[in-house]
């Protein structure tokens, strides 16, 4: 296998400002290319020029990671690499896995197979990796709401007990990153400390400190209100299929209705449990050798 470009890897995670970071990469593609970096990110949320397509294994196909998935991912990374670059900046929140498993009480169950796939396909060191972590209460709520915008979803309360008894967490994911990626430096940033996207870029790639990066114009937050989610779920559960423009139109129609209908709430007791776990996990991460935690 051809040795690939050294990587600077932004691992996301989900619902931690990844789209904003990728918009910054899109805004600065020309500057980053001039500084010797290939840039790779997917085109979710209409991010310009986002064409990264990493096909990584699911829990069901995890045992096929080497033969089925490594060749395709290696080909994708080689497609993006250019002859004159010296490294690749890669941002992809789905490297650990998908959010859909949270409601079943599983925290990125295919992460090990996915990380092994990426490591084998890249066949190069990860010079620095950055992972943004978020409190479990906020993460689970935000993940459910995002998925409910364009999918029929079980009620949020249906997953309460599974989320309270979640298998794994941030420390377990980081141990897998350390075990399976050839990471020279690993930085974990708590969500509230992430700052501007250009600051995140310089945290990920310290050599960008003197490169004049542009912060993209702030995009309006078009997250669905409770009223919009109720309207959307009624349509999905009645069997309707909505194109992106249609469900975004429904979100826009209900944007002014800020009334809380409790569609994605934990009880006070559940919040205490999850907050306690998150704080213990941050303390555990802070003690991990080779990990820098910004909290």
pLDDT at 214: 95
pLDDT at 290: 92
β-bridge mates for residue 167, sequence order: 106
DSSP designation for 17 = S
Tell me which H or E stretch contains 283.
helix 268-286
Residue 37 Cα to chain centre, angstroms: 21
Q: Residue 110, Cβ neighbours under 10 Å: how many?
A: 21
Q: How far apart are CA 150 and CA 232, in angstroms?
A: 8
pLDDT at 114: 98
Q: What mean pLDDT is predicted for residues 170-188?
A: 96
Q: How far apart are CA 121 and CA 119, in angstroms?
A: 6
**Burial per residue of 286-295, b for 16 or more beta-carbon CB atoms within 10 angstroms, e otherwise:** eeeeebebee
* Nearest one of 105, 113, 227 to 176, comparing CA atoms: 113
Question: Is there a contact between 84 and 37 (Cβ–Cβ < 8 Å)?
Answer: no
pLDDT classification of 10: cutoffs 50, 70, 90 = very high
Q: What mean pLDDT is predicted for residues 183-210?
A: 96
- Token match 């996990």: residue? 281
Question: Is there a contact between 124 and 4 (Cβ–Cβ < 8 Å)?
Answer: yes
Domain range summary for the chain, segments of one domain joined by +: 7-135+169-219+279-294
Per CATH, domain 7-135+169-219+279-294 is 2.60.40: no
Cis preceding linkage at 13, omega within 30: yes
Q: Is residue 168 left, alpha or beta, with left meaning phi > 0 and alpha meaning psi from -120 to 50? A: left
Q: How far apart are CA 78 and CA 89, in angstroms?
A: 13
pLDDT classification of 220: cutoffs 50, 70, 90 = very low
pLDDT classification of 46: cutoffs 50, 70, 90 = confident
Q: How far apart are CA 73 and CA 55, in angstroms?
A: 6
pLDDT digits (tens, 9 = 90+) for 241-279: 999 999 999 999 999 999 999 999 999 999 999 999 999
pLDDT at 29: 95
Per the prediction, the chain carries an average pLDDT of 94
Q: How far apart are CA 117 and CA 137, in angstroms?
A: 30
HSE on the CB side for 147, CA within 13 Å? 18
Structure tokens at 75: 């080909």
pLDDT digits (tens, 9 = 90+) for 75-106: 999 999 999 999 999 999 999 999 999 999 99
pLDDT classification of 218: cutoffs 50, 70, 90 = low
Q: How far apart are CA 170 and CA 133, in angstroms?
A: 7
Structure tokens at 286: 């802070």
Q: In what order do the strands lie in the sheet with 291-294?
A: 37-40, 87-91, 7-10, 126-133, 186-190, 291-294
Q: How far apart are CA 201 and CA 132, in angstroms?
A: 12
């Amino acid at each position: 296998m051809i040795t690939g470009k050294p990587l600077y890897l932004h691992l996301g995670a989900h619902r931690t400002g990844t789209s904003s970071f990728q918009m910054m990469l899109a805004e600065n593609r020309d500057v980053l290319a001039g500084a010797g970096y290939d840039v790779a990110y997917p085109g979710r949320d209409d991010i310009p020029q986002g064409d990264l397509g990493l096909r990584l294994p699911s829990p069901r196909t995890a045992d096929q990671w080497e033969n089925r998935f490594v060749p395709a991912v290696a080909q994708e990374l080689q497609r993006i690499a250019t002859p004159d670059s010296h490294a690749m900046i890669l941002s992809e929140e789905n490297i650990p896995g998908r959010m859909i498993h949270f409601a079943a009480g599983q925290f990125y169950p295919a992460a090990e197979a996915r990380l092994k796939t990426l490591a084998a396909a890249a066949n190069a060191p990860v010079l620095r990796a950055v992972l943004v972590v978020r409190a479990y209460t906020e993460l689970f709520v935000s993940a459910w709401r995002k998925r409910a915008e364009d999918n029929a979803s079980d009620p949020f309360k249906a997953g309460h007990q599974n989320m309270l008894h979640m298998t794994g967490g941030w420390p377990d994911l980081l141990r897998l990153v350390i075990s399976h990626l050839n990471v020279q430096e690993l930085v974990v940033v708590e969500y509230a400390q992430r700052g501007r996207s250009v600051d995140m870029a310089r945290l990920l790639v310290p050599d960008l400190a003197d490169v004049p990066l542009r912060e993209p114009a702030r995009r309006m937050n078009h997250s669905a209100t409770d009223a919009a989610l109720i309207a959307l779920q009624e349509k999905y559960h009645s069997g309707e299929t909505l194109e992106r423009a249609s469900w975004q139109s429904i979100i826009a129609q209900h944007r002014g209705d800020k009334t809380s209908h409790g569609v994605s709430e934990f009880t006070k007791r559940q919040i205490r449990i999850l907050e306690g776990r998150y704080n213990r996990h941050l303390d555990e991460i802070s003690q991990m050798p080779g990990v820098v935690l910004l909290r």
